[in-house]
Amino acid sequence: MKQQTWLQWGRALIVAVVTAVVSAAVSYAYSYLVHGEAAADWQTSVVLGITLGVVLTLIENR
């Protein structure tokens, strides 16, 4: 049971990291294309990654 819990939160961490990186890349591309400045919004990317990582893991384990 304990190993299964670790695997679930490991998946949540992977989802969080992938989501944060993709979100940062999208915000970087948007900023560059629309505003002409190359800047990523890391705060929003990390918050979105953590939120989706936890929520998707909880939904999957229901």
Task: Report the domain count for the chain.
Answer: 1
- The kind and range of the H/E element at 50 are helix 42-60
Q: Write out pLDDT tens, residues 9-52.
A: 888 889 999 999 999 999 999 999 999 998 888 999 999 999 99
Q: Which of 52, 46, 61 is nearest to 8 (CA)?
A: 61
Q: Report residue 17 as tokens.
A: 């990291």
Question: Which domain, by its residues, includes 46?
Answer: 2-60
| Confidence band, pLDDT 50/70/90 cuts, at residue 8 | confident
- Read off the pTM: 0.80
- In angstroms, rounded to a whole number, what is the distance separating the alpha carbons of residues 28 and 39? 5
